[in-house]
Structure 1
Amino acid sequence: MDDAELDQIRKARLEQLKAQSGGASSSGVGPAAGGGGGGGGQDQARQQEAEQRQSMLNQILEPEAADRLGRIRLVKEQRATQVENQLIMMAQTGQIRQKVTEEQLKGLLNAVADTKEEEKIVVSRRKGWGLDDDDDLFDL
């Protein structure tokens, strides 16, 4: 990845941070500058942010890696978003010097999976609520 691409990613991220913190409205740039545009402005801002994010990821990832991340998003959206955020941050700090391959993405996914604790769902049922059967509800 050359310096021009990194500069473009940094500029896009800076604009994204300005928009999130409300800095875009003071500079007069972006949909937030309209002030009172209603919900349509927020939708447009989200769409623009998603497009910038996708553009950065296209510059960071090889096509095979992008496909894998897309498939992961279908199953575990939160994990895919977490990996995307990490990739973008790494690109902005200069830790990524070339496009990320599918094998490198697998390693990053494994690292994220290892750091995340197993989620447990515990179901506790209370006994003795006075109803032994659902049919009791209809007996008068």
Structure 2
Amino acid sequence: MDDEELNRIRQARLQQLKAQGGGASGGRGAGGGAGQEQQAQKQQQEAEARQTILNQILHPEAADRLGRIRLVKEARATEVENRLIMLAQTGQLRQKVTEEQLKELLNAVADNKEEEKIVVSRRKGWDDDDDDLDF
């Protein structure tokens, strides 16, 4: 291969990477885009599997409530989903989870979680602009 042909191949590959959204991926080599694609496919398959399991173990009303919770607190919804999937996989669920059972599970999760408290401590005395008003 001559230099001109190599340059054309490099340019074609660069255009291909830019089209995939990878851009110039500094040192990753030719396999970088394929690895990201496989990772995305794997995540998509896992999400579909989770959704399939949840559809099998939740009543429609409970699924709707969990969806609304996801809009507000995604971490809590994911935690509840993980717990439900674990219960289903260990055979502890005998029937579909109703909305009332989901509420109970949410309350149990909320009780176990301690809410974060924000403490504001202010320094006093060293840079107090109110002192200027005392004159």
TM-score clears 0.5? yes
Gaps of 5+ in 2: 1-30, 130-135
Corresponding residue SS for 2:34: coil
Q: Matched residue of 2:101: which SS? A: helix
Q: Displacement of 1:121 after TM fit? A: 1.5
The reply to whether residue 68 of structure 1 matches residue 53 of structure 2 is no
Q: How does 1:6-85 map to 2 (within 5 A)?
A: 37-85=34-82
Query: 1:95 and 1:35 mapped to 2: Cα distance?
Result: 42
Amino acid corresponding to residue 80 of structure 1 in structure 2: A
> Unaligned regions of 5+ residues in structure 1, if any?
1-33, 133-140
- Partners of 1:66 and 1:73 in 2: CA distance: 10
Flag the structure with larger Rg.
Answer: 2
- Give the Cα separation in 2 of the matches to 1:39 and 1:128: 55
State the 4+ residue runs in structure 1 displaced beyond 3 angstroms: 124-132
1:106 to 103, 106, 112: 103
Alpha-carbon RMSD = 2.3
**AA matched with 1:83:** V
Alignment coverage as a number of residue pairs? 100
Deviation for aligned residue 1:103: 0.4
1:40 to partner: Cα distance? 1.2
Equivalent position of 2:112 in the other structure: 115
Once the 2 structures are TM-superposed, how far is the Cα of residue 39 of structure 1 from its aligned partner? 1.0
User: Which residue of structure 2 aligns with residue 90 of structure 1?
Assistant: 87
Between the aligned partners of 2:119 and 2:48, the Cα distance in structure 1 is 39
Tell me how far apart the structure 1 counterparts of residues 96 and 57 of structure 2 sit (CA, whole Å): 5
